[in-house]
Every structure is written in structure tokens, then in C-alpha cells.
Amino acid sequence: MAKKTYKDIPRVSEAVDGGTPVDHVPPGDLGYERIPKEKYISAEYYEQEWQQMWSKVWLLGCLERDLEEAGSYVCTEIGRESVILVRQQSGEIKAFFNVCPHRGNRLVESGMGETEELFTCGYHGWQYKLDGRFNRIPNAELFPQGKPCDGLSELPCETWNNFVWFSLDKNAIPFDEYMAPLKKHFEPYHFDRMVMTRDVTMEWPCNWKTSVDAFNETYHVAATHPQLKWYLDDMDIQIDCYDRHSRYLVPFGVTSPHIDRVPEVPPPLKFMLTEAGLDPAEWSGHVDGIREAVQKQLREHAGAEGRDYSDLNDDQLTDDYNYLVFPNVTFNTHADHLMLFRHRPHATDPNKMYFDVWMLEYIVDEDEMPEYRPRHKFHEYGSKSLGMVIDQDGYNLPRVQQGMNSAAYDGLWLGDLEVRIRHFHKTLDDYVSSDIEVTEVEDEPTGFRSLIQKLVT
């Protein structure tokens, strides 16, 4: 039997009323030019990227649930900047640069904290109210020129679906315009009903885009994650590209087209059956029917288990709807949990980045509800496991970065299953004007497609 390819019709359920859109949005003609490696290794480009892109976009800061009480705050870092997100007495959340305008001292350390009413600089004792205004300047008479400003430098800040977003651009475009059309996509998952169960950061020796790329395509699954071939279809996927953002829809509960023959139910699919409340020993149907059987089982028993899937289509009960919120947030969305990755740039080095893993879970049983939010953990590269799949990617990425610095490598040579990477770079180019020249591909696109077809079939 011939193996399926990405060109086959995607197996996507119809959207429910008011649910996540499932219409295919093709990327359009993005060409086949090589993506120059300088975008990953050049310090000059890194600076252009910071000035023209990072300082203009909307960025994910924290969970709204982390700021429940007035005075609770989260200090998050992005590149060279540090930002305070703090709950006001009014209930509003405001964002400020984490810098005292006196001598530039940072007011708080990175992470979560609480303050009753004031932020106090530990250097000279300058004080600021929760809304950023000055509260007290010790010995103010020593400054005949007066105050340097009105207080802390405020940034645009928005809350949505349990997330807090900010922009380093005080004149940023409206948040709703920036996020379009993803609000309609995400809201049916009700992330506000989920709680954080994991919060980990690891420094990776690679560019932040190298990390984004790894979760923006399924072409690497067969070689890097061979165990997943028995659990998901890495070829027959729907790829959608929007204005800034993108997604692919990956069927779970099936086997990869790379698998020629499945003599019995593979262990990963047995586990999936068990998790859904079905006995693998009693399964007598074809392996290809497991996905639909699990969807039906989950749908039928959702109410009795206290779960609400009414806003989700059947495929969302099993599959991974994987989104990239430009520029640096990967959403692996599932009916009962969200695995979120933030890919944050290093402050100065294009060959380093910070990889954040947030796990949010929809917990129905109060007895299983964690008593406390998990403490944030930071790990040096290779010191801890982040899980088999992420570890496999984490093993590759530093070696990819090293290879990009080789004189023998010119840049990314992308196939059709990697089109989200190409769309990502097109969006990046819309922000960053650069003198880096793109190497033209000599082969005709048809010849290139033929080569890809031979490689994957």
C-alpha cells in the first residue's frame, strides 16, 4: 500500500458553532529561496531584530492567575529588558520597565513576588506606588532640577484567557489586531479553567529561532522522534498560515505513513485507549479506528466526569492543534491540557536562548488540584530531563547551531512540510529590514518537490 503524504486530504472534523475554526488557510506562494544562516548567527542581525521586531510586538508575560491579589507581581525578562507585571488595587494589571529612573537599578528580581503598596529601589530607597507613580524620593531637596520623570515607565498591557501580554512599544498596535484571528481559535479551550502544573526554564546553546523551527514542522519526527511514528501522523497534516501566526493540525491516535505494517496495537495507542477508559485487550477493530473510538468515548463520558467539551470538535479531543503566536510562543493545545513553550532570546549572544516550558491542566477532581502553584525551576543545559521528546529536540538544536556557524553551510533549505518556518521568516522580514542577501535556489520548484517526494516516500 502506498504511503500517504501531506498532500492527502487532512482528516479534520467540522467546526462546532462558535468553536475553533478549521478552514484550511494555505500559505500562498512563499518561494523556495534559501533562508540565510546569518539570521541565526549574526550579531548585527541580532541587533536589528531587537530594535525592529522585539521592541514592536506583543509578548507573553505570565498567567493572570499568578496575579490574584493587589500587589502581586511577576518580573519577566525578554532579551536585555526586564518587565514588571503587577496587579493594581483596582484589579487592573499594569506593566512597567523594571528600572529605577534615578541610576538604572532594577527594582525587583526575576520571578514572582508580592508587595503591599510600594516598590522600593534597594540602591537609594526611591519608592514607587503600584501604578508606577513616585511615592517618595529620599532627600528630594538634593535634586534642585526636580524629578527625572513622573515615575516608572509604563508599557501597554492586556489580559486575555488567563494570559497577560505586554509590548515594549508604547505605541503598539491594538492587541486584538495583533492576535487576529487566534482569539477565536483559543477561547473554546478555556485556558482560564486550567492551572499551571509545571514551570521550567532551560538555557539552550542555540538561537531562539533554531528552537522555534523545531516545533514549527513535523518533517523531523521520523528521524528525531521515531517512537512517535506509532502514535501520530507526521505527514497527513493541515498547515495554516495567517497574517503573523500559523498552525498545523496533527492527528493523534494513528500511526505514521512511515510505518508499513502494524501487526498489533502499538503500546502508545494502548495507553491512549486506557487513558480514555477503554480496555486495549478488548480492542478488536483496525488500528486506524482507535482515534475515532477514543473521541467517541471521551465525548460520551465528558459530562459524567465533569468535563465540558461542548466548544470543541471531535478531533480536538485527541489531536494536537499546534500554534505559533509570533514571534516566540508555541501553543500545543489539547482538550484537557496546554503545553506552552516560550523561546526567549539571550540578552547579547545570538547563539544562546532561554526555553520555557509551561504545562497547564484542566483538573476536575478537587482532590487532585495542586495546593500551590509549582515553583519556577531553572536548569543549565543538559542538567535535567525535560521529557523524552523535548530532550530529543534539545539534543539536536545546539548541533544545528554549531553547524550554522560552519563555512560549509549557507542557510536553511526548506521543503513543503517546513512551510511554517518559511512563513515565520516572511513575517520576521516584515519587521526587520536587513542587507542580508537570500541565496537563490537553482533547482526549479517542481524538481525540488520531486526530490522531497522521493525522500519521504
DSSP string, 180-229: TTHHHHHGGG-GGG-EEEEEEEEEESS-HHHHHHHTS-STTHHHH-GGGG
Bridge partners (DSSP) of residue 35 are: 412
pLDDT at 72 over 90: yes
**How many other CB atoms are there within 10 angstroms of residue 277's CB atom?**
12
Beta pairing, strands 246-250 & 238-241: antiparallel
Nearest to residue 238, comparing CAs of 411, 12, 392? 12
The average pLDDT across 386-393 equals: 96
Residue type, 448: F
Read off the pLDDT of residues 268-284 as tens digits, 9 standing for 90 and up.
Answer: 999 999 999 999 999 98
What residue ranges define each of the domains in the chain, with the CATH number in brackets? 35-50+191-456 (3.90.380), 58-171 (2.102.10.10)
pLDDT at 443 over 60: no
Read off the pLDDT of residues 240-254 as tens digits, 9 standing for 90 and up.
Answer: 999 999 999 999 999
Tell me what pLDDT residue 436 has: 59
Read off the pLDDT of residues 343-366 as tens digits, 9 standing for 90 and up.
Answer: 999 999 999 999 999 999 998 877
**Is there a cis peptide before residue 188, judged by omega within 30 degrees of 0?**
no
pLDDT band at residue 92 under the 50/70/90 scheme: very high
- DSSP letter at 50 equals I
Measured CA to CA, the distance from residue 412 to residue 54 in angstroms comes to 22
pLDDT at 445 over 80: no
The average pLDDT across 372-384 equals: 93
Measured CA to CA, the distance from residue 27 to residue 327 in angstroms comes to 17
Tell me what pLDDT residue 120 has: 97
Measured CA to CA, the distance from residue 98 to residue 121 in angstroms comes to 10
pTM, two decimals, is 0.90
- Of 1-5, 44-48, 304-308, where does mean pLDDT reach its minimum? 1-5
pLDDT at 2 over 50: no
**What are residue 280's phi and psi, to 5 degrees?**
-60, -30
Strand, coil or helix: 455 = helix
Helix axes 267-275, 290-301, angle to 10 degrees: 20
DSSP string, 109-157: -SEEEE-SSEEE-TTT--EEETTSBEEE-TTGGG-TT--SSSBS-EE-E
Tell me what pLDDT residue 329 has: 98
List C-alpha distances in Å: 373 to 65, 69, 113. Answer: 10, 15, 13
Measured CA to CA, the distance from residue 325 to residue 329 in angstroms comes to 5
The CA R_g of the chain, rounded to the nearest whole Å, is 24
The average pLDDT across 245-269 equals: 93
The three-point CA angle 188-194-197 to 5° equals 145
Tell me what pLDDT residue 366 has: 74
Tell me what pLDDT residue 435 has: 63
List C-alpha distances in Å: 86 to 91, 94, 95, 97, 113. Answer: 10, 6, 7, 11, 9
Q: What percent of the chain has pLDDT over 90?
A: 84
Please indicate whether residue 379 or residue 373 has the higher confidence score (pLDDT).
379
pLDDT band at residue 101 under the 50/70/90 scheme: very high
The average pLDDT across 375-380 equals: 95
Tell me what pLDDT residue 352 has: 98
Q: Which strands, in side-by-side order, build the sheet including 127-129?
A: 118-120, 127-129, 134-136
The average pLDDT across 45-64 equals: 97
Going by C-beta distance under 8 Å and a sequence separation of 6 or more, which residues neighbour residue 365?
A: 306
Tell me what pLDDT residue 274 has: 96
pLDDT band at residue 12 under the 50/70/90 scheme: low
**What are residue 390's phi and psi, to 5 degrees?**
-65, -35
pLDDT at 193 over 60: yes
Tell me what pLDDT residue 10 has: 43
Tell me what pLDDT residue 249 has: 97
Tell me what pLDDT residue 124 has: 97
Q: Give the distance, in angstroms, between the CA of residue 380 and the centroid of all CA atoms in the same chain.
A: 20
Write down the mean pLDDT value for the chain. Answer: 91
The average pLDDT across 160-179 equals: 97
Tell me what pLDDT residue 455 has: 36
Tell me what pLDDT residue 262 has: 86
pLDDT at 213 over 80: yes
DSSP string, 269-334: HHHHHHHTT--GGG--S-GGGHHHHHHHHHHHHTTTTT---TTS-GGGGTSEEEEEETTTEEEEE-
- Of 286-290, 389-393, 415-419, where does mean pLDDT reach its minimum? 286-290
Set of cell numbers at residue 46:
541580532
Tell me what pLDDT residue 223 has: 96
Tell me what pLDDT residue 434 has: 65
pLDDT band at residue 334 under the 50/70/90 scheme: very high
Q: How many residues does the chain have?
A: 457
pLDDT at 146 over 60: yes
Tell me what pLDDT residue 150 has: 95
